[in-house]
Amino acid sequence: MNNTDEKKELASKDNIISPDYVICFYYDKTLKESLEQFKNLIMRLSEAGLDIEYLNGSIGSLFLFIRCCSARLQTAALVSRHRDWLYGVKSGLPDLYIDKKISSSERLKFIHDIITFPASEGGAGIYPDLNEWKMVKYIFPPHDRIFNRNYIYKIFKKGFISESDLDDIRNHFGEKIAIYFSFIRFYLLCLIFPIVTGFFAHFFLPKYSIIYAIIVNLWCILFIQKWRKIEVRLSIRWGVYGISKIYQKHRRFVGDEIGIYMTTRKNALVSSFWKKIFRKIFFMVFQVVLVTGVVFILIGFFFVDLYFSEIYDGPFQKYLVFIPTIFLAGFVSVFSTLYNKISTYINYYEDYETDIDLESAFIHKIFVINFIICYTALFLISCFYVPFGYYIIPRINIIGIQSIFLTSESIKIKPFVMNPDKLRRQFIYYMITGQVINFFKQWILPFVFKFFFVILERICNIRTSKFTHKNINNYSEKNELLSKVCREAELPEFPLLNNYLELVMQFGYISLFSIIWPLGSVCIFINNVVKVVLDFIRLFFATKRSIPYRTDTIGLWYSKLMFLSWLGSIVMSILIYFHKYFPNDKFFVEILVLLVFVDYLYRIVFNICKKVTRFTQYENLHVLKDEYVLRDAYLAKLMDYLPKDFQNDSQARHNYTKVIETGTTIIMNSFEKYKKA
């Protein structure tokens, strides 16, 4: 029995058609507002040509099951492929009738377009938690349990990801998820080279070997360039090459004035140039202040750790040495969570026009702060402690600082002796202990907290607007499919950006500091093997099914990899200089010449490529404008020849009166129960 037959059998057992999408509607405000928004929601969905069923959830919530008929789906597919043709993603004019089989990810992508696109573009204009849809909390497609079970079994049985497996991921989850797994697969394969080189350097080459530094820098450049080619090859094979040229407007974009859109030459709502500048300056000032504060805090932790580990010789010294590490781990965890939330709100305030711009801005924000958090300690040890610690630290008035808290009689310090192995130990800590702590925070803590809150809810009998396990069990007695949807509504989204961030930070450890301990690549490889397995489990069972967004690139992460590769050539040169040729009388002159020389050698190739790329993009922009105008005019004439029955099918409307009446009754009854309670 194939997947389709099993799904039909499952649906027939449940006496309900498995939905394409589920919309979570939480009506926890006034009765009038809830009824109005619910009616508008049903009317918009029905007028967009979608079928609707409902599920009464716990008190304060409704689930809407959304399905799309074949005729409406064909229209959405035609519109999407015509849009691709307008922007040059597809070279040939698409047929008026779509005979080609639509994959699962394409189907979900087209239906998501219908739900979220504005009414002027043939959609329902519904976007979660935005403007008039504040009570719509989630829009997600339910998981295909049959596919998940069969696919995860196939992957774990083989033990590796093949090209055909990537095609399956793309057909089910979309290009954005498939590109990520392609990237981590390629990254794992490429790590074999620094692993072999690291073993050779660790056992046969001297410490801080120039040969190893050159090889690692060359590997970084080749890795980035090779991945660029793989991106292009995959995007061509999947038919999305150039899809990033379609600048989809972000739903939260407000705009300030009516202007001409640069590509289509049509009037559209745009942001004022001066307001853009003001918002960027505002955030730059905010980020500079925040980064400066974080740097000072991390420097403070560094000196406290230095004091307890190498200077303090009083009571409980063996235990006090762990205090800075514990507090630092707690600070980083709390600060990262708060910073991500603040950055999200700042992104919305900056009012980016397109989804690509919004995502790129958020990537830049989280990269900067994580760069500071991950690498500050290593920079301090390598550029301050190792070359200058012997001169500066003994001259710090430790007794004067201690006397603020302790009497001079109780102060016990030992003579400072610089630890030549401190940098290596710190790097090993990040490679081993840091990875274990990160695994604990990502996988163990969330389940512990979830278990704790479930127990707390049962003890206190707390009623929330979300589904508890009690609700789920009640539904499972009635219908297994509905129970599955209830559980999936509580799951988080797949953390794609955080996964990329982790991989990029790992790449930074290799390109910047692997010369300290060449075996660090081994730890990163082992961590990523475990990560791939856990990412598959998370994708299929521990997160909501991802909306299949299309892309042809990893986005701004590519430029971050280039930056780390360039910075790695400089940092490794400095490390070699400090450990082999320092101290001497011409320190400042030599270090300046070294930095300029290394920077020049590395940048010259990328600057030439960058200028060529900019010129090509500039020319392509004018070509794209001209092509768009010609294709748009041609397409407008062509659409007039559509058969009338096809046009009528595409505008099909469904009877939504019964759904509104039943949903209204449920909402009113819920408010009555609240009043009685």
Q: What is the pTM of this model?
A: 0.85
Nearest to 89 by CA among 261, 239, 234, 265: 239
The DSSP secondary-structure symbol of 18 reads: P
Cβ-in-10-Å burial (0-12, 13-18, 19+) of 102 comes to middle
Rounded to an integer, what is the distance from CA 195 to the centroid of its chain?
Answer: 27
Cα dihedral 244, 245, 248, 252 sign: positive
Residues 566, 582, 201, 511: what is their CA dihedral angle, to the nearest 10 degrees? -20
Confirm if 514 and 198 have CB atoms less than 8 A apart: yes
Residues pairing with 198 in the sheet: none
- Mean pLDDT per 10-residue segment, the chain (677 residues): 46 57 81 82 86 75 85 81 71 58 87 86 82 84 89 85 89 93 95 94 89 89 88 87 73 63 57 74 84 89 82 75 83 85 83 81 91 91 81 62 51 69 88 80 71 64 42 47 79 91 94 92 92 90 89 90 90 83 60 60 57 43 48 54 44 58 67 57
CA dist 508 and 433 (Å) reads 17
What percent of the chain is helix, strand and coil (3-state, nearest 5)? 70, 5, 25
Nearest to 289 by CA among 339, 325, 360, 328: 339
Nearest to 104 by CA among 143, 65, 72, 69: 143
CA dist 561 and 6 (Å) reads 44
Residues 360, 365, 352, 132: what is their CA dihedral angle, to the nearest 10 degrees? 110
* Cβ within 8 Å of residue 195, ≥6 positions away: 521, 522, 525
Query: DSSP assignment of 85-99, as one string?
Result: HHTTSSSSPPPSS--
CA dist 238 and 551 (Å) reads 10
* Cβ within 8 Å of residue 9, ≥6 positions away: 1
CA dist 648 and 274 (Å) reads 46
pLDDT at 7: 47
Confirm if 551 and 175 have CB atoms less than 8 A apart: yes
**What phi and psi values does residue 641 have, to the nearest 5 degrees?**
-90, 5
Domain ranges of the chain: 17-141+642-676, 151-583
Cβ-in-10-Å burial (0-12, 13-18, 19+) of 289 comes to exposed
- What number of other Cβ atoms are within 10 A of residue 367's Cβ? 22
The DSSP secondary-structure symbol of 652 reads: -
Residues pairing with 56 in the sheet: 62
Alpha helices (runs of H) in 311-354, residue ranges in sequence order? 317-320, 323-350
For 411: left if phi > 0, alpha if psi spans -120 to 50, otherwise beta; the answer is beta
Measure the CA angle with vertex 463, ends 461 and 465; round to 5°.
155
Measure the CA angle with vertex 188, ends 358 and 179; round to 5°.
35
Cβ-in-10-Å burial (0-12, 13-18, 19+) of 183 comes to buried
> Roughly what angle, to the nearest 10 degrees, separates helices 355-380 and 323-350?
160
pLDDT at 172: 92
Query: DSSP assignment of 621-645, as one string?
Result: HHHHHHHHHHHHHHHHHHHTTS-HH
- What number of other Cβ atoms are within 10 A of residue 15's Cβ? 8
